[in-house]
Amino acid sequence: MKNLLVAQSGGPSAAINATLCGVVEKCLADKNIDKVYGAQNGIVGILADKIIELNTLLSDPETLQLLCQTPSSALGSCRMKLSHWEESTFEYEKIISTFRKYDIGYFVYIGGNDSMDTVDKLATYCKLNKIDDVCIMGAPKTIDNDLMETDHCPGFGSAAKYIATTLSEIACDCNVYAVPAVTIVEIMGRDAGWLTASSALAKINGDSAPDLIYLCEKPFSVERFLQDIRQKLAEKHAVVVAVSEGIKNENGTYITESLQDKTTDAFGHKILAGVGTFLEEIVRQEIGCKVRSVELNLMQRCASHVASGSDIYESKLLGCAAADYAISGGTGKMAAIKRTSSKPYRFEIEFVEIDKIANRVKEVPLEWINEEGNDVTQEMIDYLLPLIQGELPCSYKNGVPVHIRLY
């Protein structure tokens, strides 16, 4: 019998713990697994030997259900980029040493694009060095929905549901005044506009907002933006705008780059902020109406009280599938969702070679954005709608949701 190690990495979400739940449930039910361990703070925890046993911590159905309604990463997270083994093998040797210490035969890494880079490097290193007694699998997670080879990503549906709900509520608030006003809502998305596109779901029950939607896949023109605002203000007194944080101009430069200090994160990504404030000031100066900007920020990924039931279900299923595939001898792949039908919505799980996913970005198809570049098409709505269906029962104590802590 071997043990399985699971870890979480990258930005948290409202569904990443459901994937962890799926991994744990599979291990507890599988007679080939002795113990299931969790690494604190992702790959960093493996390097630092911060390993906790999950068998007793997550042994009963009630605790596992509580884990599913807990947002963020219960095991902690990190944003560490593994060195390439051609530059240094120290990290890889340390990771394998930790695997040996805890008799790890299977490793499931839950995360997004950069996390799949870690899975790819580690699986390739093991293959090249004939370390064939450890199977390494990726389980997808990212609210950005930008992983290749999967129809959508766990965490995205819940974030989309939160964004649609919030935009609908913002519209209700903005419409109470007769004074012309513009509200600009900045939504996460560096290089993929999926989250911003989900704001369109706020209109499915008859609300008119958001009136304008700008994704980062199409070049953004300030002049055209002002023209759109003026046209909408001529039609109605309250205009609500949804905009991706990563919108770029015709030259491919982030429109807020002049405001930034060119700081990048560990993976070389420019740290973005301020597009809502940037556009707010432009509208104030050029149009002169009442204007405010709202940055949804972290709330997009931690609003478990409005999580999508289908998202949590699929996230748990993918965790179970990734663990099962590893236990069966599979390695160097990621569990993925293949949509087989939208109406009615159906899907199946497949396993994709990790090198088809790591360091690649799935953008919104341009045909799902209208010609004017300020809204999405019906094809986008049809794609999004199944992903936000269903609600979870939520346990409350003292008037607020109950969350679990693993360490």
Catalytic (active-site) positions: 144
Task: Assess contact for 26 and 323: CB atoms under 8 A.
Answer: yes
> For residues 359 and 84, what is the distance between their CA atoms, to the nearest angstrom?
14
Q: What is the largest CA-CA distance in the chain?
A: 71
Ramachandran quadrant class, 149 (left: phi over 0; alpha: psi -120 to 50; beta: rest): left
Identify which of 127, 57, 9, 56 has the alpha carbon closest to the alpha carbon of residue 405: 57
- Amino acid residing at 264: T
> What's phi and psi for 181, nearest 5 deg?
-150, 150
Three-state DSSP class for residue 301? helix
Residues 6+ apart with CB under 8 A from 86: none
Give the chain's length.
407
> For residues 209 and 202, what is the distance between their CA atoms, to the nearest angstrom?
7
Strand 400-401 relative to strand 396-397: parallel, antiparallel, unpaired? antiparallel
Ramachandran quadrant class, 268 (left: phi over 0; alpha: psi -120 to 50; beta: rest): left
Task: Assess contact for 108 and 326: CB atoms under 8 A.
Answer: yes
